[in-house]
Structure 1
Amino acid sequence: MRCTRSTKKLLTFIFGVLFVVIYCEFIIYYVVIMQCSWPDIKTPYNESQLLKAFIFADPHLLGPRKGHWLDKWRREWQMHQAFQSIILLHRPEAIFVLGDLFDEGEFSTDRQFAGYVARFHELFQVPADTQMHVVAGNHDIGMHDYISRHSDQRFKKYFNTTSVQFMTIKDNHFVLINSMAMNGDSCDLCTQARNHILKVAGIFKCAQDAKFCYDGIKKIEFSKPILMQHFPLYRKSDAVCTDPDAPPLPERNYEFIPRYHSLSKEGTDFLVTRVKPKVVFGGHTHHGCLQHHVYEKPEHFEFEEYSVPSFSWRNRPNPKFMLVSITPNDYAVHKCELPKETTIVITGIIMLFVVIWLTKQRKLIGR
């Protein structure tokens, strides 16, 4: 039995709308993300030492107190689709999450926090051969003055972290820091972090000069480490930031409060003069920034610091992530776009109009 004209119209419309939904909720992520690629290392390197790292920050998964359930569902769906598209298209070997995994981690009960962690791993599933490393953010365990021993230990337990993590992946060294432990006072958290940083600094001094080695010290091949944390290093404001995704004016000129918006000057100097990084990555501000640092003491060294924009559409209309190619002596960074909220909406509207127009065409629907 031949379909009637109205049935053909209805089927055309239904399949058209279905395609619009599939495109805007699935395909568009691949279309945008595939436009970014791994950056090339300019200096010669050993292929076995090349590490491809995917870095993102501030997903801020909503908790039980804030946000409408629909907003929560929508943002988590977007981040899940974006993350899985990145994994499928770019196949990173290591993933670094720079804090504020959760929006209400410091306020959560143990049961709520366990649910939070389960949601995080469900949304950001990684292949078995891919490493994922996280640092704590202030929304995960609280600002320095409000961190309880329990919230700190809880985060460490679930994510197998410490306040200072030192790791080597494919001969590339990384130092991951709990920014709230850089307050510089005599609390247990800060004291332990300070001592651990001094220990890590000793490992690098030993790697450079055997006279600094002692029995039991960890032996490594020397190369400058990559420093990762939640807070940016000390800066007076974001006025130094000129990236297109830097904070808008006048927000860019608002003066930072040390230990709240960034590390303190003292904490920054202690950290970078001991670790002497080749590059620094941080989050927290939700905006992009590239800052060049120069130190003359104890000897001259300089490095770049990247602030990674938020990965969540709740924090900015155009979330970003970074693909970083790393070797022991060099690195290269590509900052990558995710679909803009306006792009998704406008694309959906235009495609719906096209579907309606096609539905009305007599050549398509027959007589």
Structure 2
Amino acid sequence: MRRVTKKLLIFLLGVLFTFFYCEYLIYYVVVYQCAWPLVNTTNDNLKALIIADTHLLSPRKGHWLDKWRREFQMQQAFTAIITAHNPDVVFVLGDLFDEGEWSNERQFEAYAARFFNLFSVPSNTSMYVVAGNHDIGFHNFIRRNSAERFVKLLHAPAVQFLTLKGNNFVLINSMAMEGDNCELCTEARSYIDDIPKKLNTSNVESNVSQPILMQHFPLYRVSDAACTEPDAPPLPERNKPFRSRIDALSKESTLYLVSKIKPRAVFGGHTHHGCLIHHSYEDLKSNFFEYSVPSFSWRNRSDPKYMLVTIAPFVYAVNKCGLPQEPTIILTAIVLIFILIYFLMRRKSIGRGY
């Protein structure tokens, strides 16, 4: 009887360890395998963490268990990332919420509070977000005051210009790039028109650091056919034509942003997949890479990703980092339980070895 009791105690401790490893420790094990990329400079580099498409569920849609599970995973992963990497700044590239555009005022306030609770950063780390279509709606479906409340509660105006450790950033609400005369678009274009005066980027030989553009939509492209990374969209989805202003910015808006900002790099989300595109605009004297950041949510992909970007005024480097895959977590739990049961079956007595 005593031997059975001790075996039961060992079994319970083993189950508790399995739960602790698969629900907490595994995130640290995986996150610590990625590191900040190095750049060849003596500057005080800026360390930027970039995530996208967290898609927090609302009470209106989705099962409560799925909601709890995905938010728990993202919170544990984000906490591990902040602890392991200690970034200077965090950029969240839109679609923070899954149903932000359908939420009433009370629900949206709870949404925003939940986001800041799940993605809490220490006092020495700044966080900036941009709006996604799920946060306020696509341009032609933006409901009354939905853009304004996002600005108020998430501290994210249509266009933000930031300078962090000598590095310039332009953060844009992609829905403000429709190109019509709506109030949101007019305000955004007015601000963007002034950026060349602030930077003097009309001269690419200038000693002023060219900005890095952050937004939710990708720049104009026909499809994701040019995306060949392991986390790119699967075929045949990769060859599906993009809808202008829905899947990516329009060609006109893209040329407008490139001509005004002349970015040295562009980061976006929206597609939930990874992509690296080289843009070359000889007539605008602009060449840069565009990075699509995969979704941070296990609802959108089984292998969420985040990016670590080391940035100096005239150079930057990017590391794309993975998080534990859902099948890996499940398989790890099964293997640990199997090892535990095997150990107990082979154990002849509690005081002996095998």
TM-score, scaled to structure 1: 0.93
Task: Tell me the distance in 2 between the aligned counterparts of 1:161 and 1:123.
Answer: 18
Q: Offset of 1:206 from its aligned partner?
A: 7.6
SS at match of 2:200: helix
1:308-351 residue CA offsets vs partner (Å, 9 max, x unmatched): 00000000000000000000000000000000000000000000
Range 353-362 or range 64-73, more displaced: 353-362
Q: Give the 5 Å matches for 1:86-165.
A: 86-165=81-160
SS at match of 1:239: coil
SS at match of 2:131: coil
Whether 1:57 aligns to 2:61 is: no
Q: Offset of 1:200 from its aligned partner?
A: 1.3
Candidates 300, 308, 311, aligned match of 1:323 = 308
Task: Tell me the distance in 2 between the aligned counterparts of 1:206 and 1:294.
Answer: 16
Task: Tell me the distance in 2 between the aligned counterparts of 1:221 and 1:168.
Answer: 15
- Residues 13, 304 of structure 1: CA spacing in aligned structure 2 closer, same or farther, 3 A cutoff? same
Q: Offset of 1:221 from its aligned partner?
A: 7.0
Q: Offset of 1:272 from its aligned partner?
A: 1.1
Q: In structure 2, what is the equivalent of residue 8 of structure 1?
A: 6
Q: In structure 2, what is the equivalent of residue 275 of structure 1?
A: 261
1:222-249 residue CA offsets vs partner (Å, 9 max, x unmatched): 1111000000000000001000000000
Contact 1:207 1:222 (8 Å CA) reproduced: no
Q: In structure 2, what is the equivalent of residue 183 of structure 1?
A: 178
Task: Tell me the distance in 2 between the aligned counterparts of 1:264 and 1:207.
Answer: 23
Task: Tell me the distance in 1 between the aligned counterparts of 2:166 and 2:173.
Answer: 23
Q: In structure 2, what is the equivalent of residue 302 of structure 1?
A: 287
- Residues 77, 364 of structure 1: CA spacing in aligned structure 2 closer, same or farther, 3 A cutoff? farther
SS at match of 1:175: strand
Q: Offset of 1:61 from its aligned partner?
A: 0.2
Contact 1:171 1:221 (8 Å CA) reproduced: no
Task: Tell me the distance in 2 between the aligned counterparts of 1:364 and 1:202.
Answer: 80
Q: Give the 5 Å matches for 1:166-177.
A: 166-177=161-172
Aligned residues: 351
Q: Offset of 1:148 from its aligned partner?
A: 2.9
Letter in 1 for 2:92: V
SS at match of 1:240: coil
Contact 1:167 1:173 (8 Å CA) reproduced: yes
Whether 1:240 aligns to 2:235 is: no
Task: Tell me the distance in 1 between the aligned counterparts of 2:76 and 2:118.
Answer: 9
Contact 1:294 1:303 (8 Å CA) reproduced: yes
Whether 1:352 aligns to 2:337 is: yes
Contact 1:207 1:221 (8 Å CA) reproduced: no
Q: In structure 2, what is the equivalent of residue 312 of structure 1?
A: 297
CA RMSD in angstroms, aligned pairs only? 1.5
Q: In structure 2, what is the equivalent of residue 335 of structure 1?
A: 320
Task: Tell me the distance in 1 between the aligned counterparts of 2:36 and 2:201.
Answer: 33
SS at match of 1:158: helix
Letter in 2 for 1:25: E
| Aligned residues with identical type, % of pairs | 60
Contact 2:258 2:286 (8 Å CA) reproduced: no
Contact 2:49 2:307 (8 Å CA) reproduced: yes
Letter in 1 for 2:194: K
Whether 1:193 aligns to 2:188 is: yes
Q: Offset of 1:201 from its aligned partner?
A: 2.1
TM-score, scaled to structure 2: 0.96
Letter in 2 for 1:45: T
Contact 2:201 2:261 (8 Å CA) reproduced: no
Task: Tell me the distance in 1 between the aligned counterparts of 2:14 and 2:296.
Answer: 30
Q: In structure 2, what is the equivalent of residue 18 of structure 1?
A: 16
Letter in 2 for 1:336: C
- Residues 273, 306 of structure 1: CA spacing in aligned structure 2 closer, same or farther, 3 A cutoff? same
Candidates 52, 66, 69, aligned match of 2:64 = 69
- What stretches of structure 1 move > 6 A for 4+ residues in a row? none
Q: Give the 5 Å matches for 1:24-43.
A: 24-42=22-40
Task: Tell me the distance in 2 between the aligned counterparts of 1:206 and 1:311.
Answer: 33
Q: In structure 2, what is the equivalent of residue 214 of structure 1?
A: none
